[in-house]
Amino acid sequence: MNPARKFDTDLHIMTDYFEVDSKYRIIRPRGRADWLIFFTIAGRGSFGSGEWSRVVERGEVVLIPPGVPQNYGILSEGELWSFYWVHFNKRPDWGEILDYPEHPSGIRILRISDEEIYEETLAAMRQMHDLRTNELYRRNEKVLNALERALLILDEINPRSAKARWDDRIGEAIRYMVIQSSRKLYIEEVARKVGLSVSRLSHLFTEQVGRSFGAHLELIRMNEAKELLESSSKPISEIAHAVGYEDALYFSKRYKKTFGSSPRDYRRSLA
């Protein structure tokens, strides 16, 4: 059995990359008990249910919820269809990020028109597939991380996501916060940048993002720190400085409060 297709009984993730020809067709009238996601990178495939059918091409993501009838395969004779697929069980906190536009069949489809989003999604899918084919420490958790990363990237362009309902100025504020997060940053500066009063920006943050300006800035910094811990061997004090904290001890306390383990313990778990 291909290790990439081995079903994990704890995390319930099965994934693979296919290049298929005209003989490929899958029909499951009752669907499956898990979720299924397709990410087309070349060629064309077709999905159908009853009288409804839909052609998918490069950059389109198809999501099939549990219990939805499945009928999919190559579009026409002699045409190649290349895609990544993933079977998975939904985590309790994934409800909103799986809420793609739904078609009459119950199938959900998201089209990627932004090339940067496409490349980021492709990288996450490749990483997930590569991880499944290697016997790495904490491999299953890393596969789950890669899947969640892909879903969060796609949430950036989902017209039904919470982000799509944000005031444009909140999106601009968050982008500015990400760029400037390595230095001291105050809400007054960001409010001026996006043309809002401090009180209005503070209100919109709490209302639309679900957390305060300060809490969101800290979360941005902590996520950046986590990535640095995973991808570099920099000392923790240097990472603290890189994400805007002068006091490494205070940074470690805030990191532990955010993720449940200290930066040192998290790095050890990755060793």
List, as one string, the DSSP characters of 155-177. HTT-TTSTGGGS-HHHHHHHHHH
Q: Could you tell me which residues are beta bridge partners of residue 39?
A: 61, 84
Length of the chain, in residues: 271
Q: How many domains does the chain have?
A: 2
Name the domain boundary from 155, 177, 203.
Answer: 155
Where residue 98 sits, what CATH number does that domain have?
2.60.120.280
Q: In terms of domains, do 178 and 148 share one?
A: no
Among the residue ranges 14-28, 57-71, 162-176, the one predicted with the least confidence is: 162-176
Note the pLDDT tens digit of each residue in 182-225.
Answer: 888 999 999 999 999 999 999 988 888 878 999 999 999 998 89
Say yes or no: 16 and 137 in one domain: yes
The reported pLDDT for the residue numbered 52 is: 78
Give CA–CA dist 190/193, Å, rounded.
Answer: 5
Task: Please tell me the distance from the alpha carbon of residue 175 to that of residue 169, in angstroms, as a whole number.
Answer: 10
Q: What is the CATH number of the domain that holds 206?
A: 1.10.10.60
Cα–Cα dist 263/192, whole Å: 34
Kindly tell me if the per-residue pLDDT of 39 is higher than 90.
yes
Residues 23 and 128 in one domain: yes
Distance CA 96, CA 100 (A): 9
For residue 226, give every residue at least 6 positions away whose Cβ sits within 8 Å of its Cβ, in sequence order, or none: 259, 266
Can you tell me the distance from the alpha carbon of 131 to that of 27, in angstroms, rounded to the nearest whole number? 29
Distance CA 8, CA 14 (A): 7
At 180 the three-state DSSP class reads: helix
Question: Are 145 and 177 in a shared domain?
Answer: no
Residue 147 and residue 50 share a domain: yes
Residue 176 lies in a domain: yes
Token representation of residue 41: 């990178």
Query: What percentage of the chain exceeds 90 in pLDDT?
Result: 47
Closest CA to 48 of 61, 29, 33, 65: 29
CB 223 within 8 A of CB 215: no
What residues make up the domain containing 130? Answer: 3-155
Which distant-in-sequence residues (6+ apart) come within 8 Å of 174 by Cβ?
209, 216, 220
Q: Of residues 27 and 163, which shows the higher confidence score?
A: 27
pLDDT beyond 50 at 8 = no
> 116 in a domain, yes or no?
yes
Query: Would you say residue 82 lies in a domain?
Result: yes
In terms of domains, do 143 and 188 share one? no
Q: Which of 78-82, 161-165, 175-179 has the lowest mean pLDDT?
A: 161-165
**Residue 160 belongs to some domain of the structure:** no
Q: What is the DSSP string of 237-259?
A: HHHHHHTT-S-HHHHHHHHHHHH
16 and 117 co-located in one domain: yes
Whether residue 205 contacts residue 211, with contact meaning beta carbons closer than 8 Å, is answered with yes
- Mean pLDDT, all residues of the chain: 86
99-146 pLDDT, tens digit per residue, is: 888 887 889 999 998 898 899 999 999 998 888 777 666 677 788 888
The H-or-E segment that residue 221 falls in is helix 213-231
For the sheet with 52-56, list strands across it. Answer: 25-28, 70-74, 45-49, 52-56
Q: CA-CA distance, 24 to 80, in Å (whole number)?
A: 10
